[in-house]
Amino acid sequence: MILHHATRTRDPLRVALTGANGGYGRTFLAQLALTPEIRPVVLVDPDIAGVRAMLDELGVPAERVAESTDQAATARLVEQGRIALVSSADALDWECVDVLVEACGRVAAGFDYASAALDHHTHVVMVSKEVDTVVGLELGARAAANGLSYLPGDGDQPANLLRLVDWVSAVGLDIVAIGKSGECDLELDLATGSVTQAGVTVDAPALAGLLELGDDVVGTLARRADAVRGLKRAAAADSCEMAVVATRTGATADVESMHYPVARIAELADIYAAREHGGILARDGVVDVFSALRLPGEASFAGGVFAVVRTGDPITWELLRGKGHVVSRDGRYACVYWPYHYMGVETPLTVHAAADRAPALPPRWTTLLAARATERLDAGTELRVQGHHHEIDGVAPVLIDPVDPAEAAPYYLLDGARLARPVARGALIGLDDVEGVDRPALAAYLAGITHTRTSTSTTSTTTSTTTTSTNGADR
């Protein structure tokens, strides 16, 4: 049963999807079979054969699909109601597209696609969080200047968390910390004393005795972390997602690599509390990631998102505790959470929001996803983003306050670059340390910084002027 919804009455929105043959692309295309008001017209991916095979699996009739190598052919296919498969943006006729969903995951290509879309008055839904952390400032500013939308895609944690923050803020709750769980839970088997994460199992017999936080929250978390030290729990993708959220909310990381506590869902309000209240936080307004600990058969956090807030009326929150909501033991904090991120299944929400020019928080230069060497790196070392978590060997992603680009370059701008000189272990990698970065992306990154500084200065001046005028009127 699909109930009536206002979006079902609109003229079909024509969508181009890049990175079409990825996991995200597949979930999005599968969902579009149920949302006829959104029509995929151009699918962009170098692996045309792979896209065809995926569409076959999704039950798309072969006669509805055709490859195109130039813009004119693409336009004809779209006019015929068919899906054009193209290997690059060169064959993409932007007159056929209302919204671009960018999901290729690579900075140079993703920026090229998004930039071209905005130049041709096409809204952009940015799924490639790597792209956003480098050039989001410039793309967002350009979209706003031209009356277009530039939005992170619903279904991935950044957009989901921003929606949760909007809800929490709208009802008037005071936010202490926001964040998400790691991609995969830690599942503890009490019978064997082993813990499994993403198919990797390690012995962790000590964890069975650490299921309760006890009075020493910080100490318990340290012992849990030690018990599962054989598992890789932190990922560059996590830091990337939190950078997207940080630049739109002004939240910051409490520590640059984030805390990553091993935590059960019911404990989050006690853990993400101020240190003076027994928690781990040195300040408010924090973004963070936790490793969700559960027993077999217990519900998963499913890579979902959370907001820890201060409670108000104690009777209200004791009533809510009795209904099963997560409230800290001292009653000061509560955790609001959404235990899901449905990837492309949710992205139609953002496509509609983009076309409707829905208000959204713009990205600002408040946090930088930088790169810190985890070992000494010699001159000539090639920096490549690779693997499932999109990481660079020998380099850790860190969330820091913005600094001069010479001192710290964006983590994902380094993809494909080479070190021009040695970098000591523990040092940040700056633009002066590398050669061969993508020049258009670099130019956009620097332009975004300039725009942010200019707009911040203008806002401050306007605020100051307004305040002076108001005070004068009061006198």
What sections of 58-196 are H helices per DSSP? 71-79, 107-119, 129-145, 157-170
- pLDDT, one tens digit per residue, over 154-177 is 999 999 999 999 999 999 999 999
State the pLDDT confidence band at 109, using cuts at 50, 70 and 90: very high
Nearest residue to 286 (alpha-carbon basis) of 272, 275, 265 = 272
> Would you kindly state where each structural domain of the chain is located, as residue ranges?
8-155, 158-341, 368-445
Per DSSP bridges, beta strands 262-263 and 305-310 are unpaired
Query: How confident is the prediction for the chain on average, in pLDDT?
Result: 93
Per DSSP bridges, beta strands 194-197 and 200-203 are antiparallel
The whole-number pLDDT of residue 460 equals: 44
In this prediction, what percent of the chain has a pLDDT beyond 70?
95
pTM: 0.93
Q: For 461-468, what is the mean pLDDT?
A: 36
The whole-number pLDDT of residue 148 equals: 98
pLDDT at 468 over 50: no
- pLDDT, one tens digit per residue, over 134-153 is 999 999 999 999 999 999 99
Can you name the residues that pair with 195 across neighbouring β-strands? 188, 202
State the pLDDT confidence band at 6, using cuts at 50, 70 and 90: confident
User: Side chain identity at 86, as an amino acid letter?
Assistant: V
Helix (H) or strand (E) holding 15: strand 13-18
What CATH architecture applies to the domain 368-445? Alpha-Beta Complex (3.90)
In this prediction, what percent of the chain has a pLDDT beyond 90?
91
SS3 state of residue 28: helix
Instruction: Provide φ and ψ at 454, rounded to 5°.
Output: -65, -45
Q: For 175-193, what is the mean pLDDT?
A: 96
- pLDDT, one tens digit per residue, over 13-26 is 999 999 999 999 99
What CATH architecture applies to the domain 8-155? 3-Layer(aba) Sandwich (3.40)
Residues 6+ apart with CB under 8 A from 26: 54, 58, 344
DSSP one-letter string for 237-261: HHHHHHHHHHHHH--EESSTT----
The number of CA neighbours under 13 Å toward the Cβ of 78 is 27
